[in-house]
Amino acid sequence: MPEPYRVVSMLIEAIQGDITGLEVDAVVNAANSALAGGGGVDGAIHAAAGRYELHAACAAIGHCDSGDAVATSGFRLPARWIIHTVGPVWHGGNHGEEGTLASCYRRSIEVATELGARSVAFPAISTGVYGYPPDAAARVAVNTLRSLAGTAVVDTALLVAFDARTLSIYRELLGEG
Ligand code: ADP
């Protein structure tokens, strides 16, 4: 068997906008462990993809642990796939939050690699209702993605900020500040 195709580097870019409109191979959803749909980016993705179809696909999978990731079709999104990952709820930072958040990025890239997705867009996982401080979360996102460069078929990881503050945090960490 030939070795699967590997790229040697992964471009990590920060942009501001609505993740549901992006023309990427896969968008990551900040889901809950019941994959039941919710507010925030989860609600936006369900609305744009098609609530009925996405709900049925999520119900067929049933559950996802914190720090893990599962994939469905993107249905009516421009993206071909949705990778649902479950971030940690922030409880002050001494409850394994950082490891779980890093695992979300790592597992999402692993699932993207299994799918053959070359471009993947991430929302700022856990920084909404789950309460993770945005700058600490951004550091975990950038460091984890950097550590995965060269291990995945993913050649472009987009960090999608919904607000200007999150964008400036990403830009500073990526050396674009
Ligand atoms: P969590 O429950 O993991 O905290 P939320 O959806 O509440 O997830 O928030 C995660 C992040 O997604 C927040 O920074 C929020 O501003 C952002 N967000 C909300 N809607 C969108 C969207 N349509 N596109 C990109 N990011 C979004």
**Residue 34 · residue 65 · CB < 8 Å:** no
Instruction: Specify the amino acid at residue 118.
Output: R
Q: What's the gap in Å between 161 CA and the centre of ligand 1?
A: 8
Q: What's the gap in Å between 69 CA and the centre of ligand 1?
A: 17
Measured from the CB, is residue 41 less than 6 Å from ligand 1? yes
**Residue 104 · residue 71 · CB < 8 Å:** no
Q: What is the pLDDT of residue 61?
A: 98
Would 67 be classed as within a structural domain? yes
Tell me the best of 19, 20, 41, 166 to mutate to test the pocket of ligand 1, counting ligand atoms within 8 Å of each CB and taking the most: 41
Q: Provide the 8-state DSSP code for 153.
A: S
Phi, psi of 30 (to 5 degrees): -85, 90
pTM of the predicted protein model: 0.95
Q: What is the pLDDT of residue 68?
A: 98
Phi, psi of 107 (to 5 degrees): -65, -35
Would 75 be classed as within a structural domain? yes
Instruction: Quick: pLDDT tens for 70-104.
Output: 999 999 999 999 999 999 999 999 999 999 999 99
Edge-to-edge strands of the sheet including 81-85? 11-16, 156-161, 119-122, 26-30, 81-85, 69-73
- Cα–Cα nearest to 74, from 28, 134, 136, 32: 28
Would 1 be classed as within a structural domain? no
Q: What's the gap in Å between 74 CA and the centre of ligand 1?
A: 18
Is the pLDDT assigned to residue 1 strictly greater than 80?
no
120 forms beta bridges with 26, 157
Would 130 be classed as within a structural domain? yes
- Which residues span the domain enclosing 76? 11-173
Measured from the CB, is residue 85 less than 6 Å from ligand 1? no
Would 61 be classed as within a structural domain? yes
The CATH number covering residue 142 comes to: 3.40.220.10
Would 5 be classed as within a structural domain? no
> In which band, very low, low, confident or very high, does the pLDDT at 161 lie, cut at 50, 70 and 90?
very high
Q: What's the gap in Å between 175 CA and the centre of ligand 1?
A: 23
Measured from the CB, is residue 14 less than 6 Å from ligand 1? no
Q: Encoding tokens for residue 21? A: 């409109």
DSSP for 34-91, please give it.
Answer: T----SHHHHHHHHHH-HHHHHHHHHHH----BT-EEEEE-TTSSSSEEEEEBPPPPS
Residue 38 Cα: closest atom of ligand 1? 6
Does residue 42 carry a catalytic annotation?
Answer: yes
Distance CA 99, CA 79 (A): 28
Catalytic residue among 25, 42, 65, 155: 42
Task: Report the number of distinct structural domains present in the chain.
Answer: 1
Average pLDDT, integer, range 15-31: 98
- Angle 72-112-97 from CA coordinates, rounded to 5°: 90
Average pLDDT, integer, range 44-59: 98
CA 144 from centroid of its chain's CA atoms: 12
Measured from the CB, is residue 37 less than 6 Å from ligand 1? no
Distance CA 75, CA 86 (A): 20
Kindly report the average pLDDT of the chain as a whole number. 95
